Amino acid sequence: MKRIDFINWFEDVRLGTRRLITMVPDEAFHYRAHPSSTDLEHLMRVFAGLEEQFVKGVCTNDWSMTNQPTDVRRQITRAYAEDTDDFEGLDSDTEFFETVDEIIDHLDMIHQEALDIIADLSDEEFQNRKVNVPWGEEATVQRFLIGMVEKEIHHRAELYEALRHYGTDMSPMIIWGP
């Protein structure tokens, strides 16, 4: 896949993500579909956190802005399992928001920064440069960024299902429609 094809695909995926986020009522931020699941605010924040972590880390080899992702995941999992929402010391996207508009603004800012970083890569770097990540895997920039978008799609489905449980009238066209 060429870099521009990836960017176009990512933009299409992000359009669906943004459309879904706008469906979240501000008063539902702390709603959890199940006591052990994450709340809607966290599900919305995760998109920017993943993008910032992977694009900066993979494309620029700058992992200084976060702990190892596995450590962050463990801390989030523990906080939710204990029902504490204790994210003290978590170095990923821990800024909390009060409205959907604030989340969309933050997501758009991180997305534009990410697109600028990706645009600085050549097709050769994007397709063939190998990257070693802190949690021990090695792959091309392309493979890691495709995985990042796949992860966004996964979390988008989680948000979609949580909104259905909340009672929001949902149609698959919200995500995949024109």
pTM passes above 0.75: yes
99-132 per-position pLDDT tens digit: 999 999 999 999 999 999 999 999 999 999 999 8
Question: What's the start-to-end Cα distance of the chain, in Å?
Answer: 24
Whether the Cβ atoms of residue 172 and residue 37 lie closer than 8 Å to each other: no
31-89 per-position pLDDT tens digit: 999 988 889 998 998 899 889 888 988 998 887 765 444 444 455 555 555 655 554 44
Domains of the chain listed by start with CATH number: 3-176 (1.20.120.450)
